[in-house]
Amino acid sequence: MGRATYNPIGTTALVTGASSGLGIGYAHQLAERGADLVLVARRQDRLEGLAVELAEKYGTESTVIPMDLARADAASVLVADLHDRGVTVGTLVNSAGFGTYGNFVDLDPAREMEEVDVNVRTLTALTQALLPDLLKTALENPHSAALVNLASLAAFQPVPHMAVYGASKAYVLSFTEALWYETRRAGLKVTAVCPGSVRTEFRRVAQNEEAAYGGYMEVDDVMKATFAALDRASVPPHVVPGAQNTVYARLTTLAPRRVVLATIGRHSIPGRTN
């Protein structure tokens, strides 16, 4: 397996969802590799604390942009802000996202649309707006530019009781793999990361503390898998962290879809604890 170490030193990386969980993990890893950061999330106090921590630990400069990525114009406002600041983004990590849990008919319609907005619309719009800069960075500084989109193990099959979340992550996986193909000769490192359940705030926000498909893993496990993929000469179009999760993802594509759907449905019934 060939290596072409991902080296973003001297470039700027934008991380959405940078106030918690995987977003914080990506910010640390990128700062450690020498990138300056643009940190985007709703909670300004957390972003500012992270910026101080990154500066003290790695000497990294961070631009903090507090923003609700569910707003309709989030991507255009963010890109305009970057332009005004004179910031060129060389790596984009779309880590922001959330899930909801329950029977779709019972869920808050406004919250479901916010889930689509964050997980799909803003991710798509921001990727399209910044892709020219990512490609330019890749051309000018080989192995320094990347596009990382957070999908999920849920992307490989429908997820009853988390219907919108599973569908949104299936979109992210398909979308990212298509971009991987379109940009494969441009030197940009593109991949969709598909973790299972990670010890973050995700399940508390989704109000689903019980289910952990594939078993829990730590943020560091996802970081190791992501950057091992980015350090390859041929970056895979998606990466599934963890051997157990990799087997699970493969089985869901081989088994009859109706069987997979029934199995997932039985194990994700609201209120079920075993």
List, as one string, the DSSP characters of 161-221: TSHHHHHHHHHHHHHHHHHHHHTTTTT-EEEEE----BSSSHHHHHT--S--TT--B-HHH
H or E element at residue 85: helix 74-85
Q: 3-class DSSP state for residue 65?
A: strand
| Catalytic option among 6, 165, 213, 248 | 165
Give the number of other CB atoms < 10 A from CB of residue 258.
8
**Nearest of 104, 147, 127 to residue 11 by alpha carbon:** 147
Q: Which two tokens stand for residue 209?
A: 């503390």
Q: Annotate 101-117 with b (16+ C-beta within 10 A) or e (fewer).
A: bbeeeebeeeeeebbbb
Rounded to the nearest 5 degrees, what angle is found at the Cα of 72, between the Cα atoms of 71 and 73? 95
Q: Which two tokens stand for residue 88?
A: 């060129």
- What is the rounded CA–CA span in Å between residue 230 and residue 224? 10
Active-site residue 165, yes or no?
Answer: yes
Catalytic residues: 165
